Structure 1
Amino acid sequence: MVSTVTDKLTSRIPRLGDRGDRKDVVAVVKLHGVITPSPSPLSRGTINLAAVESALTRAFDHDRLKAVALLINSPGGAPTQSGLVAERIRQLAAKKKDVPVIAFCEDVAASGGYWLACAADEIFAHRTSLVGSIGVISGGFGFTGLLERFGIERRLHTAGANKSRLDPFSPEKPEDVEWLQKMHSQLHELFVEWVKERRGGKLSEGEDLFTGDVWLGTKARELGLIDGLGNLREVISERYPDAEITIAEPKKPLLARLGLGAPTAASALLDAVSQRAAWSRFGL
């Protein structure tokens, strides 16, 4: 009687090397939100290396991995974080040479969002997706008139002639704007180099793709910015019909799990406003 019960229990435990009932896996990583070094609890989500690295690592760690899918919905943001996340994707992919990385653009994969998409071996989008915006932008506010109206005196002390460049409470200087434009041009060149490196001969030569314009998915395919039209489920089910789709969730920091470390209401609101503006540029 004992041996019979034991046999029944052990028969339910998969044996090492017996994978007959274990499916292959397509791991999905969601890259949703504005790309920024600082998270915001009032936004639609944020993307930075600290926030997504654990999810990327989990995705590439599956032992039955057939592909990694990047589900991208981002209007862009910080260029450094865009580069860091994209480079991390390529580093992990290099260790799994036989595992393709496929990007799927949702509402928008623009600017830094498209930078992330280019980390994939293939890019798909919906025909209504907004894709591209290969350029650089920055914005801010000037408060000099506001200070004068309320009789507020600005006191600023620096050591170094250029330490106070683009101070929002001081009049804008032509030389500061020229410096900023040079920085934009250098970042733009790096962006263009990355797109050419990743997309290679797929890019159309008949139209300037690097003006900062954005295109719908159908046109983006014609221009070589993406490889095809389709969503994650239909493409993955066609290519890997027997694979299981799993979502690789990021590991929450300890303070977040404890409900601590939240930003102040004022800083969170400012972050939310700036991120709302990033989405609004694409009508979202």
Structure 2
Amino acid sequence: MKIRLPNGELKEVGSEQQGSWEQRTLEKLLLETYKQNRRASLWKWVGRAVWLVLFLILISVMAGGNKNVGAIAKKHTAVIDLDGVIDSNNDTATKIIEGMEAAYKSPNVKGIILRANSPGGSPVISKVAFDEIRRLKAANKNIPVVVVMEDVCASGCYYIASAADKIYANPSSLVGSIGVISGGFGFTGLMEKLGVERRLKTAGENKGMGDPFTPESPEQNQIWQDMLTDIHQQFVAAVKEGRGNKIKDAENPDVFSGRVYTGEQGKTVGLVDEFGSIYTVSRDVFKAPDMVNYTPKDSFSNSLGRQFGVQLKSATDAYLQPSW
């Protein structure tokens, strides 16, 4: 009899050959069906895994922080992290404020530690955090607020730290740097050598002040200096307000010069009260060795947004905005 092969060709076969061909065809069909079922099953499990990950991310975003805090049923020390550069991208002031507010709501918090490890940053955000810490302290006088410095707490970080009741540090910590800095580059000489002409159009004689491709006049230089001096004076006033008579600036005129001290040196000049860590303070000072971190956690979307923000930050911003 004749049979049609898969390629469409007709072939004469005997009954034995016919049976053999039909068996092979059936085996191939069953094997292909098995493979397709396996692939479908695999993709089904992959899909389930993806949905599980998305669900966990959603739960994390909705949680928005340490929701286990409310479950703490015994006395403990609240820890709030003050780390990284102090700026809007890091949302420094908001994290401190929200963390302290959450800690004050718990009847089992015996004290609050601001764990500081920051080189400083924005003068504006530092002042906002300083003012809010003092406001919250005044409204909750029964809960002490201290700062425990780790590797470094300089410039804007020290501005914020000075709002606390006490400052603890490691003898090797870097503290102080009570000053203001703003810098940039001038390319006018290079442009002259290259024969490049800068065509900057402004309305207002100082509107282009700070442009690196335009010569800076003595008057504009003085404007910059006056602004930095004004911000520095605000910094000094805040530290004196927060630290009171602990700062021995009369004996150590360099304290407000912008210099950095070790923790041991800082204790000598009044920038630091005592040596200690979050462990010694929670255990020996607050008598509540169990610690709970009240620092608000970033949502998934905020984390992505911050990464994009960091990538888009330009050198011009660093030039135009003074920092501690």
Q: TM-score, normalised by structure 1?
A: 0.78
Question: Is 1:263–2:314 an aligned residue pair?
Answer: no
**Matches of 1:52 and 1:147 in 2, distance apart?**
46
**Matches of 2:204 and 2:92 in 1, distance apart?**
32
**Matches of 2:306 and 2:81 in 1, distance apart?**
24
Match of 2:282 among 236, 249, 252: 236
Maintained 8 Å contact 1:23/1:242: no
Match of 1:35 among 86, 90, 99: 86
How big is the shift at 1:65? 1.6
How big is the shift at 1:143? 2.9
Q: 1:244 to 1:81 in 2, by over 3 A?
A: same
For the residue of structure 2 that corresponds to 1:127, the secondary structure is: coil
**Matches of 2:169 and 2:290 in 1, distance apart?**
21
Match of 2:240 among 196, 201, 223: 196
Q: 1:17 maps to what in 2?
A: none
Maintained 8 Å contact 1:53/1:250: no
**Matches of 1:78 and 1:261 in 2, distance apart?**
16
Q: 1:74 to 1:150 in 2, by over 3 A?
A: same
Maintained 8 Å contact 2:279/2:289: no
Question: Is 1:23–2:68 an aligned residue pair?
Answer: no
**Matches of 1:110 and 1:255 in 2, distance apart?**
30
**Matches of 2:130 and 2:309 in 1, distance apart?**
30
How big is the shift at 1:63? 2.4
**Matches of 1:109 and 1:260 in 2, distance apart?**
26
1:50-85 deviation digits (Å, cap 9, x = unpaired): 454433332333222211100111111211111011
Q: 1:127 to 1:247 in 2, by over 3 A?
A: same
Q: 1:118 maps to what in 2?
A: 162
**Matches of 1:91 and 1:142 in 2, distance apart?**
43
**Matched residues, percent identical?**
39
Q: 1:250 maps to what in 2?
A: 296
Q: Which has the larger radius of gyration?
A: 2
**Matches of 2:197 and 2:296 in 1, distance apart?**
47
- Report the AA paired with residue 67 of structure 1: G
Gaps of 5+ in 2: 1-71
Q: 1:188 to 1:267 in 2, by over 3 A?
A: same
**Matches of 1:90 and 1:67 in 2, distance apart?**
15
Which has the larger share of helix? 2
Q: TM-score, normalised by structure 2?
A: 0.69
**Matches of 1:52 and 1:253 in 2, distance apart?**
16
Match of 1:65 among 106, 109, 115: 109
Q: 1:256 to 1:225 in 2, by over 3 A?
A: same
How big is the shift at 1:149? 5.4
**Matches of 1:261 and 1:242 in 2, distance apart?**
35
- Report the AA paired with residue 34 of structure 1: V
Match of 1:79 among 109, 123, 140: 123
Gaps of 5+ in 1: 1-20, 40-45, 279-284
Q: Which moved more, 1:220-229 or 1:138-147?
A: 138-147
1:183-217 deviation digits (Å, cap 9, x = unpaired): 11111111111111111121223111211111111
How big is the shift at 1:132? 0.8
Q: Which moved more, 1:69-78 or 1:137-146?
A: 137-146
- Report the AA paired with residue 264 of structure 2: T
